[in-house]
Chain A
Amino acid sequence: MNAVEPGGELPPLCVTPDRYVTFRYAGASGDFNPIHIDDEFARSVGLPGRILHGLYTMALAARAQTEAAGGPAKLKRLAVQFRGAAVPEHEIAVASRVTGHRDGRTIVTVTVTQQGKAIIRGATAEIER
């Protein structure tokens, strides 16, 4: 991480969640909100269909950091705002740009997009150097 100077990019992470990812994530996380597992219910509350869990997309943002930094102990902080709903079966891209170094940590701005739309924008990660 020391090698990456402000303005530099960490390796991108691209994932295409399969059709059933929301069911596996619901089981793993315990979040069975029907907007994630029931198309009909999701449409009845104005969504396009089942949407991914926001915390699943945050987990992808976290994975991009731990894989770039060399393990789970390195990620000290991650703060995100969920900007839009992501859906299964379309590629999700995590982009991470180093913005500076502070108190022994590398500060990273993280953006998660799907189909050209930001799902998470202006998120901040702090990685131990």
Chain B
Amino acid sequence: MSASAELTPRAFPSHVYSVGREKIREYARAVGETDPLYFDVAAARAAGHADLVAPPMFAVVYAATAFEAAMCDPGLAIDLAMLLHTGQEFDWGALVIAGDEITTDIALAQDGTRIGMRFVVFHSSSRNQRGEDVCAGIWTVAVRERT
């Protein structure tokens, strides 16, 4: 790989994710959440939501397939075994609710070498079935050299 790979605009396909109640519960349980909005439909409705609410970090679930597809793009030749997730940023808009259909687009934003390591940055944007922005993400990974 060259020291500073030429950044060519790269289009990745959109991914659509259907948000289900049990996936919200499974995710919320795995990260130790206890807020009834994530588990109890009646509690979520009493708080004015149509159904269970997804925790903000559920973004990693609905955006995951888009991120994985981008990282596995043969043109990027990322050595997945040597991958380190070094940075993550999310900006949240509308809440994600069980029953939503979330469409995520992802784009390559940077690909270069810094302090002897390759850093690759992706920008994602996710919106719901009404076209409302629900989450923008910046995903930074470093690829270590095999020794």
Partner of B31, one of A54, A60, A80: A60
A99 near B: Cβ within 8 Å?
no
Hey, what's the 0/1 contact readout for A71-83 against B, CB within 8 Å counting as 1?
1110111111110
Q: B138 → chain A, closest Cβ, in Å?
A: 8
CB within 8 Å: A-B pair count: 95
Which residue of chain A has its CB nearest to the CB of B87? A81
Q: A29 to chain B: which residues have CB within 8 Å?
A: 27, 30, 60-61, 64
Q: B30 to chain A: which residues have CB within 8 Å?
A: 21, 24-25, 27-29, 56
B122 near A: Cβ within 8 Å?
no
With A28-B29, A59-B55, A60-B32 already in contact, the answer to whether A81 and B60 are too (CB < 8 A) is no
Given contacts A25-B31, A55-B60, A82-B84, 20 further A-B contacts (CB under 8 A): A21-B30, A25-B30, A29-B64, A30-B64, A30-B68, A58-B57, A63-B55, A66-B56, A67-B35, A72-B37, A72-B55, A75-B92, A77-B89, A77-B92, A78-B90, A79-B89, A80-B88, A81-B87, A82-B86, A82-B87
Could you tell me which A residues sit within 8 Å of B by CB distance?
A: 15, 21, 24-25, 27-31, 33-34, 45, 54-56, 58-60, 62-63, 66-67, 71-73, 75-82
